[in-house]
């Protein structure tokens, strides 16, 4: 069990590490000094800004170019606001303003100084729309301006953005910035850009070979593409071609290694989703022996709880998940107890009837949700801290939401083990599941234990719903998508064995993800299913069958 | 008998939230509505049911048709394809409806076809589809591939300079056929095999990690890459989320989708989608008087100011208008007379211009490309000059390029071979 803790800690430390996380901390709100404010309010720039509000989408780029030339760094807040889609203008005087969502409605501010402005009605202002071409231009422009930013991470990102488009003026800018650069990571990135430029423009083979030397080992896709081009081009001497080819092979080996790790991570992440979905079922089906077809709907209820929490607290999306986890446990858990008390206990020992009854309940719950919330999918927002990814290197980045869910799944598993192994409820549950009559004879209230077990399993499913709401659609059909997989995992892992569920979930996840690139997603899931059927033929009790008297 | 009917009617109404009003009014023109109100497709199809009900209500306010009131008969095929055929039979034989508006997925349409041809019914199908079909009894008011997929690819190729293509779709008939057409089209334009990646996923696929990572790798080869997505329904949201999380922005690799409209965007967090593209014949954001009136009516009818409108709704609107005009012209609701009267009918588009019903039962409509905005609406970035006539049989597939559909005399055939000058004899 210590191992799980260590794993959790590892994952936690990964995201807490500020160096790795810094890629996402680039939004410094650009405090403009008074000098810049005067540039921004110069008549020439004012005129250009007015022009910007009048041009159609396709003609805006020249205006932005002029703004960049004459405004320089002072234009950074304008470009950022525009890139985020928050740039509006006042219809009456064509003055540009920034409009952002705030706690109470909308916040209006001066684009350059950030000073708050009085409120405008929807009719008084109009949005300056942007399209992909403008966004691409804005990103590049921000990169060019940011070469002299005070944040090293922003500088590094700026240089990387420029790699794909190295014209002489950019190279000049990078060269002059390189002289004063003190941060090693940024220096390396800048050297890379200069080496790329050297390789394409140097006349002598010696210089070209030197550039290849500098480029070898880099994982940037631009470098790989350049080397691939050089290795086949006839404009270079054969020695240069060869050097480029061998540098490329070295890089490819590295890339493949990271691709393998990537795939492993995908597998683990799919496994963690399967684990979350199945672990509640491992209790109700595995421990109690109830085939609960409404298990998927317990997951769905958890996801809808998240939705309702976000609906109630629209300004606290960041914390909504923390609140949703216990609430989802309670909602789904109570529903579980209700189902057990109301239906399942009357059908004890009649698995077929239980199956049909719970299937009916699942349909009722789906229709209930359709009636209350509409048949349409509901929007569950992802908190800021769950979006994006940790970029370890240019070919390997781990998406944050998956990392969190992986850690969360392991945590839930660990807690559940603790409950079953260390609490009196756990002891009673295990006693009843092993021998009901004997447990009753020893004074265990088997009725009460049944209800609690079912509630626990359903509650865990509710928690899984909170996690799944971050990955998939929250709609009435959410549960159906996971019920089959859940049963598969539990049966494969061995009924009544939580550790088996863990191993089964991860091995199925990894198998699926390694098959997928070869066979395609459709065939991969079919192959996994076929494998499980064959496996069950050979070992009907799954990976970890219960042994001894408990197996009866 | 009456009590039995009442009880069964009540049971049905309770079971599937059916609406069947005015059932006792004598001598009405019956309009069948065959859209799923439960199951996976309820998400999209419920809206179309409401659209038909709104159109019926408006027509009745104008005094009905041929001096009679219209009466909507709503059934729920529950996203169950065989049930579509059964419900269609029920509508035609039991309720004796004069016209059916219905269907969304191609498989539901294919399931209804034999029934509607056997019983000589009339159906309006309002959704974009893969083509390769033309039935005497069906009018296709959604886009054929040459009215959506081909212009979208043209846009990417000519305006954005895309050279590498990912064709990603859900694994069923519409994406498979559309991608076959697109692949042939791209190859005809000189795109190499190695620059096309085709990928299929199951319905409701939610784990996009490795596919998105493959797309990322495919797109890092130095050539401009785009994804042409025929991914359907629910699977879209996790797909775009994964794209966002893996750091692929719409500037790097734009995705143009054929199944993502305003309705689909209204249920989700649009942040990761901003800047991606969609190709349709209609966008709610298009500024025109007819569109504004339609949106106002829709919001008032549905009683929710936040509801959006979308392309299949416009297709339903045009189809319904053309049908009322054709009934007026024919002076009867007889299927054969209305079918002939339909051809050549004109109805104004909500986006401006006029839609025309062609001899092959497909419409001529304009094609628009829009970029997704953060408010869930589209900003039109490109549109075709004038209207594009829907082509039932693609010119880019070997089996279908010689076929045409023409339901006027003397050909009167849905798959007439222009080379051998024969009609293959199938009804569609």
B267/A379 CB distance under 8 A: yes
Write down the pLDDT at residue A548: 63
In a domain, A266, yes or no: no
In a domain, A21, yes or no: no
Write down the pLDDT at residue A89: 85
pLDDT in tens, A500-549: 999 999 999 999 999 988 888 888 888 999 999 999 898 888 888 776 65
Minimal Cα–Cα distance from B210 to chain A, Å?
A: 7
* Residue A254 C-alpha from the chain's centroid: 25
Asked if A67 contacts A45 with a C-beta cutoff of 8 angstroms, the reply is yes
Picking from B36, B175, B210 by the largest number of A CB atoms within 10 A of its own CB, the best residue to mutate is B210
A397/B246 CB distance under 8 A: yes
Mean pLDDT in residue range A299-309: 95
Q: Is the pLDDT of residue A408 over 50?
A: yes
Q: Residues, chain B, total?
A: 428
> Residues of A with CB below 8 A from B242's CB?
399
pLDDT in tens, B71-113: 999 999 988 899 999 999 999 999 999 999 999 988 899 999 9
Q: Nearest CB to A376: which of B43, B220, B271? A: B43
Q: Is the pLDDT of residue A32 over 50?
A: no
In chain A, pLDDT over 90 holds for what percent of residues? 26
Minimal Cα–Cα distance from A198 to chain B, Å?
A: 19
Q: Is the pLDDT of residue A139 over 70?
A: yes
B210/A139 CB distance under 8 A: no
In a domain, A158, yes or no: yes
Highest mean pLDDT range out of A34-38, A111-115, A346-350, B111-115? B111-115
> Residues of A with CB below 8 A from B268's CB?
377, 379, 473
| Residue A450 shares a structural domain with residue A334 | yes
Residue of B nearest to A385 (CA): B245
In a domain, A484, yes or no: no
CB within 8 Å of A269: residues ≥ 6 apart: A399, A402, A403, A405, A406, A509, B209
| Residue A346 shares a structural domain with residue A366 | yes
Could you tell me which residue, A108 or B183, shows the higher pLDDT? B183
In a domain, A325, yes or no: yes
Q: Nearest CB to A481: which of B206, B237, B247? A: B206
Whether the CB of A222 is below 8 Å from some CB of chain B: the reply is yes
Write down the pLDDT at residue A21: 38
Question: Of A209, A230, A257, which residue sits at a domain end?
Answer: A257
CB atoms within 10 A of CB A223: 24
Q: Using CA atoms, how far apart are residues A119 and A475, in angstroms rounded to an integer?
A: 37
Q: Is the pLDDT of residue B13 over 60?
A: no
Question: Of A450, A478, A506, which residue sits at a domain end?
Answer: A478
Maximum alpha-carbon separation in chain B:
73
SS3 B124: strand
> Residues of A with CB below 8 A from B237's CB?
377, 472-473
Whether the CB of A129 is below 8 Å from some CB of chain B: the reply is yes
CB within 8 Å of A236: residues ≥ 6 apart: A205, A208, A230, A244
| Residue A411 shares a structural domain with residue A381 | yes
Highest mean pLDDT range out of A159-168, B50-59, B403-412? B50-59
Pairs of residues, one from chain A and one from chain B, whose beta carbons lie less than 8 Å apart:
132
| Residue A434 shares a structural domain with residue A298 | yes
> Residues of A with CB below 8 A from B226's CB?
none
Q: Is the pLDDT of residue A20 over 80?
A: no
First to last CA, chain A: 27
Q: Using CA atoms, how far apart are residues A113 and A90, in angstroms rounded to an integer?
A: 17
B234/A222 CB distance under 8 A: no
Domains of chain B with CATH codes: 2-143+289-364 (3.40.50.2300), 146-286+368-389 (3.40.50.2300)
Write down the pLDDT at residue A2: 47
The model's confidence at residue A25, banded by pLDDT at 50, 70 and 90, is very low
The model's confidence at residue A550, banded by pLDDT at 50, 70 and 90, is low
Whether the CB of A75 is below 8 Å from some CB of chain B: the reply is no
With vertex at residue A520, the alpha carbon angle to CA A515 and CA A526, rounded to the nearest 5 degrees, is 70
Q: Nearest CB to B202: which of A378, A382, A525? A: A525
Helix (H) or strand (E) holding A397: strand A396-399
In a domain, A118, yes or no: yes
In a domain, A417, yes or no: yes
Mean pLDDT in residue range A380-396: 83
A175-214 residues touching B, CB cutoff 8 A: none
| Residue A220 shares a structural domain with residue A107 | no
Closest by CA position to A284, among listed A299, A270, A272 = A299
Residue of A nearest to B307 (CA): A376
Q: Is the pLDDT of residue B270 over 70?
A: yes
> Residues of A with CB below 8 A from B234's CB?
377, 472-473, 475, 477
The model's confidence at residue B51, banded by pLDDT at 50, 70 and 90, is very high
Mean pLDDT in residue range A92-121: 79
Minimal Cα–Cα distance from B43 to chain A, Å?
A: 5
> Residues of A with CB below 8 A from B160's CB?
132
Whether the CB of A382 is below 8 Å from some CB of chain B: the reply is yes
The model's confidence at residue B333, banded by pLDDT at 50, 70 and 90, is very high
A371/B274 CB distance under 8 A: no
A377/B237 CB distance under 8 A: yes
Residue of A nearest to B372 (CA): A131
| Residue A63 shares a structural domain with residue A152 | no
Whole-structure pTM value: 0.78
A132/B251 CB distance under 8 A: yes
DSSP string for A411-473: HHHHHHHHHHHHSHHHHHHHHHHH-HHHHHHTT--HHHHHHHHHHHHHHHHHHHHHHHTTTS-
> Residues of A with CB below 8 A from B202's CB?
521-522, 525
Q: Is the pLDDT of residue A33 over 70?
A: no
- The DSSP secondary-structure symbol of B397 reads S
Write down the pLDDT at residue B98: 94
Residue of B nearest to A468 (CA): B206
Q: Is the pLDDT of residue A357 over 50?
A: yes
Q: Is the pLDDT of residue A12 over 50?
A: no
Write down the pLDDT at residue B311: 95
A399/B242 CB distance under 8 A: yes
Question: Of A228, A257, A286, which residue sits at a domain end?
Answer: A257
A421 lies in which domain range?
A: 273-478
DSSP string for B268-331: S--GGGTT-EEEES--TT---HHHHHHHHHHHHHHT-TT----HHHHHHHHHHHHHHHHHHHHT
Number of domains in chain A: 3
A255-314 residues touching B, CB cutoff 8 A: 259, 262-263, 266, 269-270, 273
Write down the pLDDT at residue B10: 45
Minimal Cα–Cα distance from A163 to chain B, Å?
A: 11
| Residue A232 shares a structural domain with residue A251 | yes
Q: Using CA atoms, how far apart are residues A238 and A244, in angstroms rounded to an integer?
A: 10
3-state helix, strand, coil in chain A (%, to 5): 70, 5, 25
Write down the pLDDT at residue A551: 55
Q: Is the pLDDT of residue A160 over 70?
A: yes
Residue A419, CA atoms < 13 Å, CB-side half-sphere: 15
pLDDT in tens, B351-408: 988 999 999 999 999 999 999 988 889 988 888 888 899 999 998 888 888 888 888 8
Maximum alpha-carbon separation in chain A:
93
CB atoms within 10 A of CB A551: 11
Whether the CB of A1 is below 8 Å from some CB of chain B: the reply is no
Q: Nearest CB to A136: which of B43, B251, B371? A: B251
| Residue A75 shares a structural domain with residue A198 | no
Q: Nearest CB to A131: which of B206, B220, B379? A: B379
Minimal Cα–Cα distance from B314 to chain A, Å?
A: 20
* Residue A442 C-alpha from the chain's centroid: 49
| Residue A51 shares a structural domain with residue A86 | yes
Q: Using CA atoms, how far apart are residues B319 and B323, in angstroms rounded to an integer?
A: 6
Q: Nearest CB to B200: which of A221, A377, A520? A: A520
Picking from A394, A522, A525, A527 by the largest number of B CB atoms within 10 A of its own CB, the best residue to mutate is A522
CATH classification of the domain holding A246: 1.20.930
Helix (H) or strand (E) holding A41: none
- The torsion angles phi and psi of B173, rounded to 5 degrees, stand at -65, -40
Q: Using CA atoms, how far apart are residues A409 and A407, in angstroms rounded to an integer?
A: 6
Mean pLDDT in residue range A44-65: 79
| Residue A230 shares a structural domain with residue A279 | no
Q: Where are the beta strands (DSSP E) in B85-154?
A: 99-102, 123-125, 138-140
Asked if B394 contacts B132 with a C-beta cutoff of 8 angstroms, the reply is yes
The model's confidence at residue A31, banded by pLDDT at 50, 70 and 90, is very low
Asked if B377 contacts B262 with a C-beta cutoff of 8 angstroms, the reply is yes
Give me chain B's average pLDDT, please. Answer: 87
Could you tell me which residue, B253 or A127, shows the higher pLDDT? B253
Whether the CB of A131 is below 8 Å from some CB of chain B: the reply is yes
The model's confidence at residue B26, banded by pLDDT at 50, 70 and 90, is low
Q: Nearest CB to B209: which of A266, A473, A475? A: A266
Minimal Cα–Cα distance from B67 to chain A, Å?
A: 37
Mean pLDDT in residue range B312-320: 96
- The torsion angles phi and psi of B176, rounded to 5 degrees, stand at -60, -50
| Residue A114 shares a structural domain with residue A205 | no
> Residues of A with CB below 8 A from B267's CB?
376-379, 473, 475
In a domain, A16, yes or no: no
Minimal Cα–Cα distance from A433 to chain B, Å?
A: 35
Write down the pLDDT at residue B187: 94
Minimal Cα–Cα distance from B51 to chain A, Å?
A: 16
Per DSSP, what are the bridge partners of residue B279? B369
SS3 B10: helix
pLDDT in tens, B113-142: 999 999 999 999 999 998 889 999 999 999
Q: Using CA atoms, how far apart are residues A209 and A211, in angstroms rounded to an integer?
A: 5
3-state helix, strand, coil in chain B (%, to 5): 40, 20, 40
> Residues of B with CB below 8 A from A270's CB?
207, 209
A43-62 residues touching B, CB cutoff 8 A: 57
| Residue A223 shares a structural domain with residue A358 | no
């Amino acid at each position: 069990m210590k191992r799980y803790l260590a794993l959790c800690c590892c994952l936690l430390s990964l995201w807490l590490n500020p160096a790795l996380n810094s890629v996402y901390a680039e939004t410094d709100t650009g405090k403009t000094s008074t000098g810049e404010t005067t540039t921004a309010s110069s008549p020439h720039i004012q005129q250009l800004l007015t022009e910007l509000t009048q041009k159609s989408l396709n003609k805006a780029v020249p205006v932005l170019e002029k703004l960049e030339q004459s405004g320089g760094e002072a234009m950074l807040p304008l470009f950022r606001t525009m890139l985020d889609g928050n740039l509006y203008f006042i219809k009456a005087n064509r003055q540009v303003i920034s409009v952002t969502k705030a706690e109470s409605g909308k916040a209006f501010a001066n684009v350059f100084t950030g000073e708050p402005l009085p409120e405008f009605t929807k009719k008084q202002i109009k949005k300056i729309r942007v399209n992909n071409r403008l966004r691409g231009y804005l990103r590049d422009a921000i990169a060019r301006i940011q070469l002299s930013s005070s944040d090293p991470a922003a500088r590094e990102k700026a240089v990387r953005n420029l790699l794909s488009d190295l014209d002489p003026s950019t190279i000049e800018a990078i060269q002059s910035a390189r002289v004063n650069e003190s941060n090693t990571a940024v220096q390396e990135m800048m050297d890379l850009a200069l080496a790329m430029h050297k390789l394409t423009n140097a006349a002598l083979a010696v210089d070209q070979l030197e550039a290849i030397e500098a480029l070898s080992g880099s994982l940037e896709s631009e470098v790989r593409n350049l080397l691939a081009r050089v290795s086949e081009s006839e404009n270079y001497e054969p020695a240069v071609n060869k050097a480029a080819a061998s540098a490329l092979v070295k890089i490819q080996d590295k890339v493949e290694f990271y691709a393998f790790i990537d795939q492993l991570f995908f597998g683990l992440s799919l496994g963690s989703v399967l684990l979350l979905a199945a672990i509640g079922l491992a209790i109700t089906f595995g421990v109690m022996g109830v085939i609960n077809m409404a298990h998927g709907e317990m997951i769905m209820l958890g996801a809808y709880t998240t939705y309702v929490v976000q609906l109630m607290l629209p300004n606290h999306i960041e914390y909504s998940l923390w609140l949703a986890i216990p609430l989802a446990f309670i909602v789904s858990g109570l529903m579980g107890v209700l189902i057990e008390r109301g239906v399942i206990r009357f059908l004890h020992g009649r698995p077929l009837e239980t199956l049909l009854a719970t299937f009916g309940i699942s349909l009722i719950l789906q229709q209930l949700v359709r009636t209350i919330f509409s048949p349409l999918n509901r929007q569950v927002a992802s908190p800021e801290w769950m979006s994006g990814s940790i970029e370890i290197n240019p070919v390997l980045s781990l998406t944050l939401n998956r990392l969190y869910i992986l850690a969360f799944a392991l945590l839930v598993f660990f807690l559940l083990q603790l409950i079953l192994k260390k609490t009196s409820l756990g002891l009673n549950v295990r006693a009843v599941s092993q021998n009901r009559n004997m447990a009753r004879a020893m004074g265990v209230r088997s009725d009460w234990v049944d209800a609690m077990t079912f509630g626990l399993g359903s509650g865990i499913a509710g928690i899984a719903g909170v996690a799944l709401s971050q990955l998939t659609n929250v709609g009435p059909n959410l549960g159906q998508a996971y019920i089959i997989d859940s049963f598969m995992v539990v049966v494969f892992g061995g009924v009544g064995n939580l550790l088996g569920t863990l191993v089964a979930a991860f091995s199925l996840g990894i198998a699926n993800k390694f098959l997928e690139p070869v066979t395609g997603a459709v065939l991969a899931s079919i192959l996994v299913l076929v494998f499980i059927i064959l496996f069950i033929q050979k070992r009907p009790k799954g990976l970890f069958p219960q042994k001894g008297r408990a197996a009866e | 008998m009456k009590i039995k009917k009442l009880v069964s009617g009540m049971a049905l109404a309770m079971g599937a939230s059916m609406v069947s009003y005015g059932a006792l009014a004598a001598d009405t023109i019956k309009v069948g509505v065959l859209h799923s109100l439960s199951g996976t497709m309820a998400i999209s199809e419920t809206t179309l049911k409401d659209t038909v009900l709104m159109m019926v209500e408006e027509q009745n306010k104008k005094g009905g048709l041929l001096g009679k009131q219209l009466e909507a008969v709503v059934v729920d095929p529950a996203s169950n394809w065989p049930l579509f055929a059964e419900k269609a039979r029920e509508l035609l034989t039991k309720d004796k409806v004069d016209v059916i508006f219905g269907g969304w997925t191609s498989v539901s349409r294919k399931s209804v076809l034999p029934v509607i041809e056997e019983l000589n019914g009339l159906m309006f199908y309002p959704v974009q589809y893969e083509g390769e079909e033309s039935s005497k009894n069906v009018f296709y008011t959604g886009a054929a591939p040459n009215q959506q997929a081909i212009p979208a690819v043209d846009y990417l190729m000519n305006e954005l300079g895309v050279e590498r293509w990912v064709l990603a779709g859900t694994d069923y008939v519409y994406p498979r056929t559309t991608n076959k057409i697109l692949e042939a089209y791209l190859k005809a334009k000189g795109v190499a095999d190695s620059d096309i990646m085709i990928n299929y996923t199951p319905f409701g696929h939610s784990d996009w990690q490795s596919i998105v990572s493959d797309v990322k790798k495919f797109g890092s080869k130095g050539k401009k890459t785009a994804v042409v997505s025929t991914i359907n329904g629910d699977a879209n949201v996790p797909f775009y989320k994964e794209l966002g999380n893996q750091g692929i922005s719409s500037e790097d690799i734009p995705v143009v989708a054929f199944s993502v409209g305003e309705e689909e965007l209204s249920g989700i967090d649009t942040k990761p989608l901003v800047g991606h593209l969609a190709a349709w014949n209609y966008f709610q954001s298009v500024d025109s008087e007819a569109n504004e009136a339609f949106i106002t009516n829709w919001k008032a009818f549905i009683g929710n100011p936040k509801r959006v409108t979308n392309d299949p709704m416009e297709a339903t609107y045009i189809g319904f208008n053309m049908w009322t005009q054709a009934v007026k012209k024919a002076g009867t609701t007889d299927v054969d007379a209305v079918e002939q009267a339909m051809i050549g009918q004109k109805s104004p588009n909500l986006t401006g211009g006029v839609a025309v019903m062609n001899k092959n039962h497909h419409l001529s409509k304009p094609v628009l490309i829009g970029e997704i905005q953060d408010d869930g609406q589209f900003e039109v970035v490109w549109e075709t000059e004038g209207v594009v006539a829907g082509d039932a049989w693609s010119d880019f597939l070997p089996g279908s390029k010689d076929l045409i559909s023409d339901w006027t005399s003397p050909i009167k055939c849905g798959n007439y071979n222009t080379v051998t000058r024969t009609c293959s004899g199938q009804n569609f």
